Structures are given as C-alpha cells and as structure tokens.
Amino acid sequence: MQFDYGSKGTLTIYYYWLERTNWMYQTKAKIEGMMCNMCETHIAEAIRKAVPSAKKVKADRRKKQATFLTEEKADLDALEAAIQETGYDYLGAECLPCQKKGLFGRF
C-alpha cells in the first residue's frame, strides 16, 4: 500500500486510517441569534439540507451551537452559507474525528 504524504506527512495517513475504521467526524458550529425552539428547528433543517449525510443533528440555543455527525468531513463553506441564509450569525465551526458509538461500541 502506498500513501501520499503530502505536506502534512503522518496527518494524511491518520485521516486515511480514520476513513477505514469505525470513526466519524463531529462538527460543532457556533451560531448566534437562536432564541426559541423554532430557531433550533430552523438551524437543524438548514444543516440537513446543506449536509445530506449529517446524522444526529442537534441545535442548542443555550450553548449557541449546533452539532452533527458525518462519515466524512463536512463542507464547512456550504454549512456557513446555509446558516447565514436562514438569517442567523455563523461564528465558525470545527470538524473533529470521534469514535462511532453503537450497540457494540464498547467491544
């Protein structure tokens, strides 16, 4: 097996490994302007539309953030555009690897 080390070296190998194991990506987006449950629903719908592969989409007005899981890295530019289109302030997002938890996730 041959790897493209690129400019990041071992980081490229790490992401290659993540894609072939039971890991997912958790994206957390900071959002200003949510005031009620309906605002949370609007944000969640916008995320589902911008990132069709998103799972477990949750928006929380108290934490001023939305979180979701994807199998591959989410397109943060599309996410930003979708949130701003709904009229809320997008303050940034991060997409970090996390271990997939399922029925047998502990074994």
pLDDT in tens, 18-56: 555 678 899 999 999 999 999 999 999 999 999 999 999
What pLDDT is stored for residue 63 in this prediction?
Answer: 96
* 79/4 Cα distance (integer angstroms): 28
Percent of the chain with pLDDT over 70: 73
What pLDDT is stored for residue 6 in this prediction?
Answer: 53
What pLDDT is stored for residue 33 in this prediction?
Answer: 94
Please indicate, yes or no, whether the overall pTM of this predicted structure exceeds 0.95.
Answer: no
Cβ within 8 Å of residue 35, ≥6 positions away: 61
Over the range 40-50, which residues count as b (16 or more CB within 10 Å of their CB) and which as e? bebbbebbeeb
Phi/psi of residue 45, nearest 5 degrees? -65, -40
What pLDDT is stored for residue 23 in this prediction?
Answer: 80
* 56/67 Cα distance (integer angstroms): 8
Instruction: Count how many residues are written for the chain.
Output: 107
